[in-house]
């Protein structure tokens, strides 16, 4: 894992050591990359806002400093509660790592009065309506609103983008599960996908014949030279190079380049904007909608837990609370 280099060698060395520690614990490289990004962003903020020696940053910062940082994330950058909670976890774990070598180091993060509530009550805007879903799917499969540059390559992206939205809203995959899918998870012969246990419990979903055909259509439209190989660790959803008008290939890995979580969210934002829908619709909104529909269809709680790969039924509490409040 590479960390940006600058003059603060000792500070960034601690971040590099943290990355190595996470690697030794078997954390995914995508997760570690996200952790490093969050830590680098925080370090950048301290340089701009605080007059602290980089060599003593972790031992000098106070709880108030962290409260100011999170207040800034909320007020200036408009970060969601879920994103702030993720950053809170990263910073807290950084201190726990540092305490392995320095048990006397005080962790000011855990004493924060700034309350972060990732499990806030769900609201109507946390879901998409049936009309929004139809409009989004229709726009993905259309040429409406595309530029002259986008039009020629659109046929290469229609099925890919549609399948991404389909798996989120019609099958309830999480964003992390979606980008973790490899070709050995896909079973075209029996219309199933094995969902890896990256954010929950492993499970198998059954696709409708129509959805299987759509996924297969996306797979076959990728030029054979850069197409993911069946029954391998090649990623299912591949990044696209708009400069060369073809799917991307990573020569170091001799494999197609996987779409990242950030790229998927960007794609959804672009399609939502093209559809003229409200801003803010994300992968989580699509997954939320799938879960809510299962509850509305009177699917039993144990069955929903199983279908979603949840480790506990507590993950469903917010959804049942939302339904009770609506009633």
What's the full length of the chain, in residues? 327
For the question of whether the overall pTM of this predicted structure is more than 0.85, the answer is no
Q: Yes or no: is domain 9-111 CATH 1.10.150.130? A: yes
Please tell me the CATH code under which domain 124-326 is placed.
1.10.443.10
> Would you say 19 and 36 are in contact if contact means Cβ atoms under 8 Å apart?
yes
Average pLDDT, the chain: 87
pLDDT tens for 98-115 read 999 888 888 888 766 545
CA–CA dist 296, 284 (Å, integer): 18
Mean pLDDT on 274-302:
94
Mean pLDDT on 241-269:
88
Task: List, in order, residues 6 or more apart from 315 with CB less than 8 Å away.
Answer: 305, 308
Q: Collapse the DSSP code of 217 into the 3-class scheme (helix H, G, I; strand E, B; otherwise coil) and give the result.
A: helix
Q: H or E segment at 195? A: strand 192-195
The least confident of 152-156, 167-171, 203-207 is: 152-156
How far is the first Cα of the chain from the last one, in angstroms, to the nearest whole number? Answer: 50
Tokens of 4: 């940006």
Q: Where are the domains of the chain?
A: 9-111, 124-326
pLDDT tens for 207-253 read 999 999 999 999 999 999 899 999 999 999 999 988 888 888 888 88
> Would you say 135 and 85 are in contact if contact means Cβ atoms under 8 Å apart?
no
Tell me how many degrees the CA angle 98-102-105 measures, rounded to the nearest 5.
80
Distances (CA, A) of 175 to 65, 164, 254, 263: 32, 9, 25, 11
Q: Is the pLDDT at 118 greater than 70, yes or no?
A: no
> Would you say 254 and 235 are in contact if contact means Cβ atoms under 8 Å apart?
no
Q: What is the structure's pLDDT at 82?
A: 77
**Ordered DSSP codes for 117-159:** -TTPPP-GGGS--HHHHHHHHHHHTS-TT--TTTGGGHHHHHH
CA–CA dist 305, 273 (Å, integer): 33
Listed in sequence order, the DSSP H helices in the chain are 9-24, 29-49, 57-60, 63-75, 81-101, 130-140, 154-169, 175-180, 209-221, 261-274, 283-296, 301-308, 317-326
Nearest to 267 by CA among 163, 116, 190, 189: 163
Task: List, in order, residues 6 or more apart from 152 with CB less than 8 Å away.
Answer: 245
Q: Is the pLDDT at 87 greater than 50, yes or no?
A: yes
């Amino acid at each position: 894992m590479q960390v940006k280099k600058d003059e603060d060698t000792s500070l960034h060395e601690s971040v590099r050591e943290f990355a190595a520690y996470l690697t030794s614990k078997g954390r995914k490289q995508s997760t570690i990359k996200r952790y490093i990004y969050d830590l680098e962003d925080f370090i950048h903020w301290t340089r701009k806002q605080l007059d602290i020696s980089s060599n003593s940053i972790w031992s000098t910062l106070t709880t108030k400093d962290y409260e100011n940082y999170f207040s800034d994330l909320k007020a200036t950058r408009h970060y969601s509660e879920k994103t702030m909670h993720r950053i809170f976890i990263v910073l807290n774990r950084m201190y726990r790592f540092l305490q392995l070598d320095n048990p006397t180091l005080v962790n000011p993060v855990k004493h924060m009065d700034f309350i972060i509530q990732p499990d806030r009550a769900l609201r109507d805007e946390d879901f998409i309506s049936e009309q929004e879903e139809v409009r989004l799917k229709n726009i993905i499969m259309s040429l409406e609103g595309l530029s002259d540059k986008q039009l020629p390559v659109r046929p290469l992206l229609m099925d890919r983008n549609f399948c991404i939205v389909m798996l989120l809203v019609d099958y309830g995959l999480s964003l992390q599960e979606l980008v973790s899918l490899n070709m050995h998870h896909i079973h075209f012969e029996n219309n199933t996908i094995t969902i890896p246990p990256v954010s929950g419990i492993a499970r198998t979903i059954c696709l409708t014949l129509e959805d299987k055909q759509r996924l297969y259509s996306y797979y076959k439209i990728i030029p054979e030279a850069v197409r993911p190989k069946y029954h391998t660790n090649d990623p299912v959803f591949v990044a696209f190079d708009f400069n060369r008008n073809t799917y991307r290939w990573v020569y170091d890995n001799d494999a197609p380049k996987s779409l990242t979580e950030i790229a998927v969210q960007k794609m959804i934002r672009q399609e939502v904007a093209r559809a003229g829908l409200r801003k803010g619709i994300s992968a989580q909104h699509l997954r939320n909608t799938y879960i809510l529909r299962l509850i509305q269809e009177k699917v039993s709680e144990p069955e929903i837990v199983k279908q979603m790969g949840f480790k506990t039924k507590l993950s469903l509490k917010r959804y049942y609370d939302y339904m009770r409040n609506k009633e």
